[in-house]
Amino acid sequence: MPITTCVFDAYGTLFDVAAAARQAASEPAYAAMKDCWPQLASHWRLKQLQYSWLRAITGAHTDFWEVTRNGLDWALDAVGLAGDPALRQRLLDLYWELQAYPEVPDMLKALKAAGKQTAILSNGSPDMLDGAVQSAGLGTVLDDVLSVESVGIFKPDRRVYDLVGQRFGCAPDEVLFVSSNGWDAAAAAGYGFCTAWVNRAGEPVDRLPWTPDTILSDLTGIPALAEA
């Protein structure tokens, strides 16, 4: 069936999760981050994901903002900056203002011009996602923003992917699901979505029962893929 609906993961897919650490490192007050910010950003993102998986497996759900704070605390400890509460607060504040990747606005505009429905499907809590969408100016090119908070469990639980059909009334094979997380794109493929993995870092494919249908280096090719 033709693709009617294009759904995007938020963090790392539309929004640059390293932007908070990169911005803080550029500010004179946080010069201690100048050399270690890439490591901190990597630690922060990895722990954020790991904690979401562990909470899903153990049934210990909390909102994504708590997971984000927990991941940052681990990352600051790992790079030796855990004793700077001002830095911690600055990084958390910046996370509400993450930049979109440069190609995102035009890509979403092209999808809307082609008559596609567009949405975010994210682990993020509704208020976090609203802050990111408004900060990046994407509100007019998204039909909805779907959060796991409505089902109380993180990806890759199938109940999260169910939200797309419930909202848009579409079959799984009418959906192009796009994520920067290989495991997320793989799980969505297993669910029945057409999937694209935005592999900006050139990482190996995860060894899982399913694989993404398409692998891209950025989001520029998504409108053409949705029409193919």
pLDDT in tens, 61-116: 999 999 999 999 999 999 999 989 999 999 999 999 998 999 999 999 999 999 99
pLDDT in tens, 175-213: 999 999 999 999 999 999 999 999 999 999 999 999 999
The question of whether 144 is a catalytic residue gets the answer no
Whether the CA torsion 179, 184, 189, 193 is positive or negative: it is: negative
Share of the chain above pLDDT 70, in %: 100
**Which member of 9, 143, 173, 218 is catalytic?**
9
**Residue 1 pLDDT grade (very low, low, confident, very high; cuts 50, 70, 90):** confident
Closest CA to 5 of 100, 106, 149, 120: 120
**Residue 55 pLDDT grade (very low, low, confident, very high; cuts 50, 70, 90):** very high
Q: In whole angstroms, what is the distance from residue 217 CA to residue 198 CA?
A: 6
Average pLDDT over residues 132-161: 96
**Residue 228 pLDDT grade (very low, low, confident, very high; cuts 50, 70, 90):** confident
- All domains in the chain, ordered by first residue: 5-15+99-227 (3.40.50.1000), 19-95 (1.10.150.240)
Contact 61, 153 (CB under 8 A): yes
Q: What pTM does this model have?
A: 0.95
pLDDT score, position 70: 98
